[in-house]
């Protein structure tokens, strides 16, 4: 199965079939090189940019599963039941051509971890190295299963998430922005049910919700005093804006806060916004404004990546607003203002300060 979002985007399953059929890492690397051209074609055909992000996510899922299968074929069956967990943008299937790796492993509950862990450490290394070879960068924060901290039993993960919720010193921006977005990619251990239970219980903890909201308020879009888009004046990217951290990530953080506050455990940003509105956590107007902003920002980001690839440049998230068509540039300012309004609404409701 290519997946609902891939089919919705109008993509045939040729690339996915090549990944499934690959017998080794060189075969997977060769297949993965088709992804940029496929993304350019989807954007050219006017496919919803959020669906394009799902296509990238599904492709990385297929690469991950095939790398695991190749490892098992070579090293033998796992010594214990496990689950490979996608985290952050990988869990949300909201990935671009500059995405990195965020993942973990959950074992079934057992006491002989010193016996089984060497196998899974080797598996984590093989998959992480393989994804890197396919163009998926390592996580700068080391939120990857090669890090022993991201390999635990099912009950160990449930306990750890409870600690993330209750301990302000543990729940930093890295945890809030990555760990609370989780999805089982493959494996028999039902880790999602265990973590969903923790998240639903946390929805009634005002202190936790305030800490989560603080992450969504930490950064503001590049909007000036006169409601205009403000570019960087100095530094490495003068005359540009960071379309990811100045917009997309803020909407993602807002949606996560809304959804968890409503006791909703879906991952994807659009589904979180819709669920939050259905639960009356946000208004229908806020939902629509943020949905529109999210789609526009994703389109700008992916088109920027596609153009850079065509020029044989390394994709980044720094966009020159002056290079955008006038209609898009005008809409961009409106999207940023909608995000600012949503942040103000959340801050006022919870009595929190916003970044300036």
Q: What percent of the chain lies above the pLDDT cut of 70?
A: 94
Do 126 and 270 share a domain, yes or no? no
**CATH code for the domain in which residue 13 is found:** 3.30.460.10
Convert the pLDDT of each residue in 55-70 to its tens digit.
Answer: 899 999 999 999 999 9
Do 145 and 226 share a domain, yes or no? no
Do 240 and 318 share a domain, yes or no? yes
Domain count of the fold of the chain: 2
Do 135 and 237 share a domain, yes or no? no
Assess if residue 198 is contained within a domain: no
Work out the number of other CB atoms within 10 angstroms of the CB of residue 310.
Answer: 11
Assess if residue 199 is contained within a domain: no
Q: What is the pLDDT of residue 2?
A: 39
Q: pLDDT class for 9, splitting at 50, 70, 90?
A: low
Average pLDDT, rounded, for the chain: 90
Structural domain range at position 326: 206-350
Distance CA 96, CA 346 (A): 28
- β-pairing, 151-153 vs 241-242, is unpaired
**CATH code for the domain in which residue 342 is found:** 1.20.120
Do 295 and 229 share a domain, yes or no? yes
Distance CA 114, CA 303 (A): 47
Q: Is the pLDDT of residue 356 over 90?
A: no
Angle, CA 176 vertex, CA 172 and CA 177 arms, to 5°: 115
Q: What is the pLDDT of residue 184?
A: 96
Convert the pLDDT of each residue in 282-339 to its tens digit.
Answer: 999 999 999 999 999 999 999 898 888 888 888 899 999 999 998 998 899 999 999 9
Assess if residue 356 is contained within a domain: no
Q: What is the pLDDT of residue 34?
A: 86
Assess if residue 197 is contained within a domain: no
Do 224 and 87 share a domain, yes or no? no
């Amino acid at each position: 199965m290519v997946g609902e979002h891939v089919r919705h985007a109008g993509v045939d399953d040729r690339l996915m079939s090549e990944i499934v059929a690959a017998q080794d890492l060189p075969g997977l690397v060769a297949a993965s090189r088709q992804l940029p051209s496929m993304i350019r074609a989807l954007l050219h055909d006017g496919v919803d940019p959020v669906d394009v992000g799902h296509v990238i996510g599904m492709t990385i899922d297929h690469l991950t599963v095939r790398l695991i299968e190749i490892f098992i074929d070579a090293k033998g069956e796992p010594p214990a039941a496990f689950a490979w967990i996608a985290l952050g943008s990988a869990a949300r299937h909201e990935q671009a051509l500059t995405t990195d790796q965020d993942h973990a492993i959950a074992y079934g509950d057992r006491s002989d971890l010193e016996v089984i862990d060497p196998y899974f450490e080797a598996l984590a290394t093989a998959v992480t190295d393989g994804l890197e070879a396919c163009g998926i960068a390592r996580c700068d924060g080391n939120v990857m299963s090669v890090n022993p901290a991201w390999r635990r039993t099912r009950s160990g993960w449930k306990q750890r998430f409870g600690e993330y919720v209750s301990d302000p010193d543990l729940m930093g921006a890295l945890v809030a922005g990555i760990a609370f977005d989780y999805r089982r990619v493959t494996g028999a251990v039902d880790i999602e049910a265990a973590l969903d239970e923790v998240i639903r219980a946390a929805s009634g903890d005002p202190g936790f919700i305030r800490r989560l909201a603080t992450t969504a308020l930490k950064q503001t879009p590049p909007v000036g005093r006169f409601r205009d888009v403000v570019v960087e004046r100095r530094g490495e990217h003068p005359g540009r804006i960071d379309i990811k951290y100045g917009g997309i990530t803020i909407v993602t953080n807002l949606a996560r806060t809304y959804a968890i506050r409503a006791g909703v455990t879906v991952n994807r940003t659009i589904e979180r916004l819709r669920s939050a509105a259905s639960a009356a956590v946000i208004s229908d107007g806020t939902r629509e404004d943020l949905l529109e902003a999210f789609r526009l920002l994703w389109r700008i980001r992916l088109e920027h990546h596609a153009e850079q690839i065509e020029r044989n440049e390394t994709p980044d998230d720094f966009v020159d607003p002056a290079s955008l068509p006038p209609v898009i540039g005008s809409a961009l300012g409106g999207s940023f203002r909608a995000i600012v309004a949503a942040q103000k609404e959340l801050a006022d409701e919870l009595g929190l300060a916003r970044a300036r």
